[in-house]
Amino acid sequence: MKDLEDWKGIWVFIEQEEGCVAEVSFELLNAAKQLSEKKGGAEVTALLPGHGVKGLSQDLLSYGADRVLCADHPFLEKYLTLPYTRVIGDLISERKPEIFLLPATSLGSDLAARVAIRVNTGLSAHCTHLAINPQGELLQVVPAFGGKVMATILCPKHRPQMASIRPGVYRRGEPREDEGVVEDVTVDLHPEDLKQKVLEVHWEKKAAQGIEEAEVVVAGGAGIGNGEDWKWVERLARVLHAAVGGTRPPLDEGWIGEGQMIGQSGKTIRPKLYIGVGISGVIQHVVGIQDAKVVVAINKDPRAAIFQSADLGAVADFRKLLPLLVEELEKAGPFSR
């Protein structure tokens, strides 16, 4: 691709549902701001497709956007791959952003792949870190080969440089007073973009306490073995007023919901205390707990990798340890933090 220098600025796709901006969008605005500083103050643009959502712009300006591009159309009210891809693809071709960040949520992952193909560029999915090299290019860090290496990816010949980032990897910045620009853009949809239709929307019940906000998280792994014994993870969580999380096998078994899986393709958490029970500690999981203040691991195998990430470890069968621990904590009375 010629004329790479024509591509300027950093864009962030703003994910919103029913007029409520997803927290990860604020996190990505903060990431974009940090990248912008490394690039001598490149403009940060929040790309906001939807219907009747212009009122969200002020918040986006307060949390890092220099400009909001508001693409308003009734067909953009609920997310659909084809019209969103059309609008975003056209805007990218017209305005040429150098970097485009999207959340690695279900919606963002679906959209990012389509848009990358539409504008003929690459995409690094599920990044865990972003940086700028001395040449001003975006470095996109992704765990690869089952987590054995952290791959740093560059997109030297195509623009925009596109990356999707998991919720929780960055934090929302401090609000600021700066003035910015809110711009309405023309939405030009084609008949072939309107083949999909939303018939009904079902909202999934959220876990009682979101693991991303929880100060204490008790997580279980495949080592729990069966749904009956999972109650020990929940009992320990209850007595500690903790949120319950887990690895992929408990999700596959239906012991936890989608929003409770921790790791590369799940949530990134920052609790004061994380207790992992029956978890081996592969990189795809521990990448989600690296910001936990204190990590406690309970595993019957002394060679389990989780002990390398732990501040405190117990080599034990959870079936023996957890009943004793829960009993002692219950005896100790209400747990306060």
Residues in touch with ligand FAD (CB under 6 A): 146, 221-223, 247-249, 261-266, 278-280, 282, 284-285, 298-301, 304, 317-319
How far is it, in rounded angstroms, from Cα 261 to Cα 254? 11
Shortest Cβ 289–ligand FAD spacing (Å): 10
CB of 314 to ligand FAD, least distance (A): 9
Is 154 or 316 the residue whose CB approaches ligand FAD more closely?
Answer: 316
Nearer to ligand FAD by Cβ, of 185 and 305: the residue is 305
CB closer to ligand FAD out of 218 and 282: 282
Q: Would you say 207 and 260 are in contact if contact means Cβ atoms under 8 Å apart?
A: yes
Instruction: Measure the CA–CA gap between 93 and 235, rounded to whole angstroms.
Output: 54
Tokens of 217: 């998280």
In DSSP notation, 282-334 reads: -HHHHTTTTT-SEEEEEES-TT-THHHH-SEEEES-HHHHHHHHHHHHHHT-S
- Cα–Cα distance, 44 to 66 (Å, whole number): 5
Alpha-carbon distance values, 104 to 261, 277, 289 (Å): 14, 27, 17
Nearer to ligand FAD among residue 90 and residue 212 (C-beta): 212
**Shortest reach from residue 234's CB to ligand FAD, in Å:** 16
- If the CB atoms of residues 122 and 147 are measured against ligand FAD, the closer one turns out to be 147
Which residue's Cβ lies closest to ligand FAD? 223
**Minimum separation from the CB atom of position 210 to ligand FAD (A):** 16
CB of 256 to ligand FAD, least distance (A): 10
Taking the complex as a whole, the smallest distance from the CB of residue 321 to ligand FAD amounts, in Å, to: 8
**85/299 with CB nearer ligand FAD:** 299
Of the two residues 50 and 278, which places its CB atom closer to ligand FAD in the complex?
Answer: 278
In this structure, what is the dihedral angle of CA atoms 286, 290, 295, 301, given to the nearest 10 degrees? 20
CB-based contacts of 157, cutoff 8 Å, min separation 6: 1, 4
- Structure tokens, 241: 């007023």
Shortest separation between residue 140's beta carbon and ligand FAD, angstroms: 16
